[in-house]
Chains A and B, each alone.
Chain A
Amino acid sequence: MLSIKNLQAQIEDKQILKGLNLEVKPGEIHAIMGPNGAGKSTLASVLSGREEYEVTGGSVEFDGKDILELDPHERAGEGLFLAFQYPVEIPGVSTTNFMKAAVNEVRKYRGQEELTAVDFLKMMKEKMKTVDMPQDLINRSLNEGFSGGEKKRNEIFQMAMLEPKLCVLDETDSGLDIDALRIVANGVNQYKSKDNAFIVITHYQRLLDYIVPDFVHVLHDGKIVKSGTKELALELEEKGYDWIKEEVAQ
């Protein structure tokens, strides 16, 4: 589904990704861990198409398509979803109107018919349940005045609405208390299927107790330096990242 080969990227002349390789197949959950500054968020930014990052080498194929050539909204149309580490507050844009625009744009891109108002509301009601999204949040301006947990729930709600094939969760656990973390993880687990895949970017192992990965990768200095199963995450939690750095240095 996703094939990243020798990906190199920079921001303002600073090289961040230095030859990253990753293969993701349908039905898989990949966790990407690593110390601060390793390039975790850069990977999420490059995949979703942030303009300020320049790709200087390598390739990213998504279902056989070179997605680096596509605009951010086209990538979403193709079925790529990024759950933001810091979801943006947008005053004056209601969550409902935003969601309706997004769902219908994505459907158009995929050659599906736009939803009628009735069908859209029905779908909203259904998906709201999966992350315990209360109606009053939906009625408010997008993320405006939402708590950290509410913002992250809103991300997972949007994911469920847009029905992506590949979801990149960028430190979705940061700033979440255990209840919020459980709600978010529960939403992810409900959406997970044999046809879609997840890349879970996190600094801490705790999230992986709830969203259980098939593979764990350690990102260090712009490259994946170690891959393993969920046991690797536990080891990192216990020992920190220094031993990885030493291993790489040898």
Chain B
Amino acid sequence: MNGEASSPVNGIRQEAFKAFEGMEFPTIKHEEWKFTNVQKLVKNHYSFSQETKLSADEVSNAFIEGIEGDRIVFINGIFSEEHSSISASGLTVKSLAQAFKENKDVVEAHFGQESNLEESTFAKANTALSKDGIFIHVPKGKAIEKPISLYFLSDAKNEAIATTPRNLIVAEENSQVTVIEVFKTIGENQSLANNVTEISVANHAIVDYYKVQNEASQASIIDCTKVIQGKESHFTGTTISLKGDIIRNNLDITLDGEHLDSYMHGLYLLDGTTHVDNHTAVDHKYPNCHSNELYKGIVDDKSRGVFNGKIFVRQDAQKTNAFQNNRNIVLSDDAKVNTKPQLEIWADDVSCSHGCTIGQMDEEALFYLQARGISKTRSKAMLMNAFAGEVVEKIKVEGLRTYIETLIEERLHA
């Protein structure tokens, strides 16, 4: 990105680059990366943010049909004006590179501001190497009715591609916006997306953020999404992971005000050798807030699901309501799940609960359906659908919900 040499933004990036030169990416000895080995990913040779052209068909094949609203397309990490449609009025949607020049005040107020972002090597690498990303600015009091879809496409037809999208979403006071983020690799070579998204949800604002990860089987994503919420705001983060090589999602939410609601929903439906690791953290800093997390997973073949959910309740955060639930079904002997809730509570007047389960298919339920004339395959699919449905039914964008339902249906009947 092309910030002014003297700007604080540029200062942050230079610092990060220096740090990156001696950077060591985590090994499985690192507590936070115990179950997810990224060494094979970072040692691979990629072409970084290579400019390339995709045909209209290649791009539109990646689109989710039935979702209204604007589509923003990035190809190999670079904003593609040609394939994007920006028609929503009253808000700013543009490439972050452009916003650095044109919306300096807002960008500087929010870029890289969130605490502990630079603790992660991947986030540091992103800050150092990122060329572009999306900038969405929803002004005070403005409600955007249709969702904004972000498509991050990697063209890996000729070579392995790495991208480092850097996104900034700012919802000002009392505004509302829904964003859908899709990563898709085109071509047979490997891809690695090292993505960082910062989301600022101001007082009374409502933000729904969806991640759809139905990647190519040789495509990996390391995602870091940092959310900061002001008082009486609502944030819902929904992460649907269906396919990829290694996917690591870091979702950190800072509850920076009173009386706010924060929801984290996740579904991972894995087969083959797909590895999906969800690390979430919610930090209750003020009293009277509510956070609710539900992640569900079904793992088959040799796939693996990892869940780590942290809840911090600071001393001042009295009357906190924090709930967390992670439930898993393991379908094969070679599939694995690791789940770990981590609650750190310093306040004394709080209501917190967490639960995690790892189990097999309910054989009694399966037999019950079969005894009513439904074949074993279809009975299994019905039960899996019911299990996943608890997360899917929370998706508010109808077109997206239908799309996810169709994918699940296809997966379960395969």
Interface of chain A residues 81 through 98 with chain B (CB within 8 A): 82, 84, 87-88, 90-93, 98
**Structural contact, B365 and A98, CB atoms closer than 8 A:** no
**Structural contact, B374 and A73, CB atoms closer than 8 A:** yes
A137 to B374, CA, bound (A): 21
Out of A75, A88, A106, A162, name the residue touching B364 (CB < 8 Å): A88
Q: Is A105 an interface residue (CB 8 A)?
A: yes
Q: A91-B386, A93-B386, A98-B382 are in contact. Are A84 and B376 (CB under 8 A)?
A: no
Out of A50, A76, A90, A141, name the residue touching B373 (CB < 8 Å): A76
A87 to B390, CA, bound (A): 22
Interface of chain A residues 228 through 244 with chain B (CB within 8 A): none
Q: Is B395 an interface residue (CB 8 A)?
A: no
Say how far A227's CB is from chain B's closest CB, in angstroms.
27
Q: A90-B365, A101-B378, A105-B378 are in contact. Are A162 and B386 (CB under 8 A)?
A: no
Chain A: interface residue count, which band?
20 to 34
Q: A90-B365, A101-B378, A105-B378 are in contact. Are A71 and B370 (CB under 8 A)?
A: yes
Q: Main secondary structure on chain B at its contact with chain A?
A: helix
**Structural contact, A101 and B374, CB atoms closer than 8 A:** yes
A51 to B364, CA, bound (A): 11
**Structural contact, B373 and A77, CB atoms closer than 8 A:** yes
Q: Is A102 an interface residue (CB 8 A)?
A: yes
Out of B362, B375, B382, name the residue touching A73 (CB < 8 Å): B375
Out of B371, B379, B382, name the residue touching A48 (CB < 8 Å): B371
A50 to B375, CA, bound (A): 14
**Structural contact, B374 and A102, CB atoms closer than 8 A:** yes
**Structural contact, A84 and B372, CB atoms closer than 8 A:** no
Interface string of B372-408 (1 = CB under 8 A from A): 1111101100110111011000000000000000000
Q: Is B369 an interface residue (CB 8 A)?
A: yes
Residues of A within 8 A of B364 (CB): 88
Given contacts A71-B370, A88-B364, A101-B382, 14 further A-B contacts (CB under 8 A): A49-B371, A73-B370, A73-B371, A73-B373, A90-B365, A90-B368, A90-B383, A90-B386, A91-B386, A101-B374, A105-B373, A105-B375, A109-B373, A141-B386
A-B contact pairs, 5 of them (CB 8 A): A76-B372, A90-B365, A90-B368, A92-B389, A101-B374
Query: Using a CB–CB distance below 8 Å, which chain B residues touch chain A?
Result: 362, 364-365, 367-376, 378-379, 382-383, 385-387, 389-390
Query: Using a CB–CB distance below 8 Å, which chain A residues touch chain B?
Result: 48-51, 71-73, 75-77, 82, 84, 87-88, 90-93, 98, 101-102, 105-106, 109, 141, 158, 162
